[in-house]
Amino acid sequence: MSNYTETIKGALAALDGHHPDDMGELELTEQVELGAALWDIINRAGKLIDPIKERLRQEAIEHLNGNEGAHEFVGVNGGKATVLIPKASTKVRKGADMEALKEHMGEDLFDQAFTTTISYKVKPGLSDSATKIAASFEVDSLFNVIEISENTPRVNFRR
């Protein structure tokens, strides 16, 4: 077994026996230090796993002859990795002039190839301009169609 594998397994063994509920007993400064150390492990692990994932993808593509499907790999000690190759997806290119294409194809053929959807997004800064809108429009009907949800604050660690 490689030195990499032994090192990673050692780090995992060191974490055994610890439970997330125990973190509340640590001082905040200890939690920050632990969080920074764990973040460092996650970042390093991400860098190490990327070339492994790339090789597994290539091997699976070869094994499946480039077709969609799944291929499982088994490690020397029973570790497993599964690569799922999805069906190719299609989408309309950004900036495509769909109205011109619809005119060129005709509506019937166009509708056989495409689904037309209309979507609406709240403009950034709506709450700032709501008072201006309220002066010339019943603002209740505006706020009946929008939903405000609080975002979770982001936490970043560094070493």
Domain limits, the chain: 3-85, 98-138
pLDDT in tens, 9-50: 888 888 887 888 888 888 999 999 989 999 999 999 999 999
pLDDT (0 to 100) of residue 113: 96
User: String of b and e for 105-135 (b: at least 16 CB within 10 Å)?
Assistant: eeeeebeeeeeeeeeeeeeeeeeeeeeeeee
**What average pLDDT score do residues 140-147 get?**
79
Q: Residue 130: what pLDDT?
A: 67
What pLDDT score was predicted for residue 151?
81
What's the pLDDT at 50? Answer: 94
